[in-house]
Structure 1
Amino acid sequence: MEKIKAYLLAKSIGLYLNLLSYVKPEKASLLAYRFFTEPRTGRLEKHNLPAVLKDNFHETLVHGELQFQTYLWPGNENVILLVHGWESNASRWENLIPHLLKSGSTIVAIDAPAHGLSSGKELNLVMYADIIEATAKQFKPQFLVGHSVGAAACIYYQSKYQNPDVRKIVSLGAPSDLKVIFRNYVSLLSLNERMSSLMERYFLDRFRFKIEDFSARIFSASLKTRGIIAHDTNDDVVSFDEAKKIAGSWKNATFIETSGLGHSLHDDALYQKVSDFLFNE
Structure 2
Amino acid sequence: MNKFFKTFSIKLIGLYINLLSYIFPEQATKLAYKFFSEPRDGRLKPESIPEILKQAEIETVSLENYNFPIYKWKGNETKILLVHGWESNASRWEPMFPYLQKSGATILAIDGPAHGLSSGVECNVPQYADFINTVFQKYEPQILIGHSLGGLTCLYFQHQFKAASLQKMVLLGAPSDLEVIIQNYANLLQLNKKVIQLMHTYFLNRFKINPVEFTGTNLASSLSVLGILSHDADDEAVHFGESKKIASGWKNATFIETKGLGHSMHDKALYQQIEKFLFSS
Q: Secondary structure at the match of 1:229?
A: strand
For 1:201-240, what per-residue CA distance to the aligned partner results, in whole angstroms no more than 9, with x for missing partners?
1111111221111111110011001000000000000001
Partner Cα separation in structure 1 for residue 13 and residue 69 of structure 2: 32
For 1:131-181, what per-residue CA distance to the aligned partner results, in whole angstroms no more than 9, with x for missing partners?
100111112100000000001100110111111100000000000001111
For 1:244-275, what per-residue CA distance to the aligned partner results, in whole angstroms no more than 9, with x for missing partners?
11111100000000000011000011111111
Q: Which residue type is aligned with residue 77 of structure 1?
A: E
Q: Secondary structure at the match of 1:93?
A: helix
Q: Which residue type is aligned with residue 265 of structure 2?
A: L
2:6 is the counterpart of 1:21: no
1:28-177 aligned within 5 A: 28-177=28-177
Shift of 1:6: 2.0
Partner Cα separation in structure 2 for residue 180 and residue 187 of structure 1: 10
User: Residue 268 of structure 1 aligns with which residue?
Assistant: 268
Partner Cα separation in structure 2 for residue 216 and residue 13 of structure 1: 30
Shift of 1:193: 1.5
Partner Cα separation in structure 2 for residue 58 and residue 150 of structure 1: 20
User: Residue 11 of structure 2 aligns with which residue?
Assistant: 11
User: Residue 253 of structure 1 aligns with which residue?
Assistant: 253
Contact 2:113 2:119 in 1 (8 A): yes
Q: Which residue type is aligned with residue 26 of structure 1?
A: E
Contact 2:42 2:88 in 1 (8 A): yes
For 1:90-111, what per-residue CA distance to the aligned partner results, in whole angstroms no more than 9, with x for missing partners?
0000100111111100000100
State, as a whole percentage, how many aligned pairs show the same letter.
Answer: 53
Contact 2:216 2:249 in 1 (8 A): no
Partner Cα separation in structure 1 for residue 162 and residue 260 of structure 2: 34
User: Residue 242 of structure 1 aligns with which residue?
Assistant: 242
Q: Secondary structure at the match of 1:170?
A: strand
Partner Cα separation in structure 2 for residue 178 and residue 222 of structure 1: 18
Partner Cα separation in structure 1 for residue 229 and residue 169 of structure 2: 9
TM-score normalized by the length of structure 2? 0.98
Partner Cα separation in structure 1 for residue 53 and residue 157 of structure 2: 25
Comparing 86-95 and 208-217, the one that deviates more: 208-217
Shift of 1:27: 0.9
User: Residue 214 of structure 1 aligns with which residue?
Assistant: 214
Q: Secondary structure at the match of 1:194?
A: helix
Unaligned 5+ runs, structure 1 = none
Partner Cα separation in structure 1 for residue 148 and residue 2 of structure 2: 25
Partner Cα separation in structure 1 for residue 260 and residue 96 of structure 2: 18
Partner Cα separation in structure 1 for residue 34 and residue 94 of structure 2: 30
Q: Which residue type is aligned with residue 255 of structure 2?
A: F
Shift of 1:3: 2.3
Partner Cα separation in structure 2 for residue 22 and residue 113 of structure 1: 32
User: Residue 223 of structure 2 aligns with which residue?
Assistant: 223
Partner Cα separation in structure 2 for residue 133 and residue 118 of structure 1: 16
Partner Cα separation in structure 2 for residue 2 and residue 82 of structure 1: 35
Q: CA RMSD in A?
A: 0.9
Partner Cα separation in structure 2 for residue 24 and residue 135 of structure 1: 40
User: Residue 184 of structure 1 aligns with which residue?
Assistant: 184
Shift of 1:33: 0.6
Q: Secondary structure at the match of 1:213?
A: coil
Shift of 1:34: 1.0
Q: Which residue type is aligned with residue 121 of structure 2?
A: K
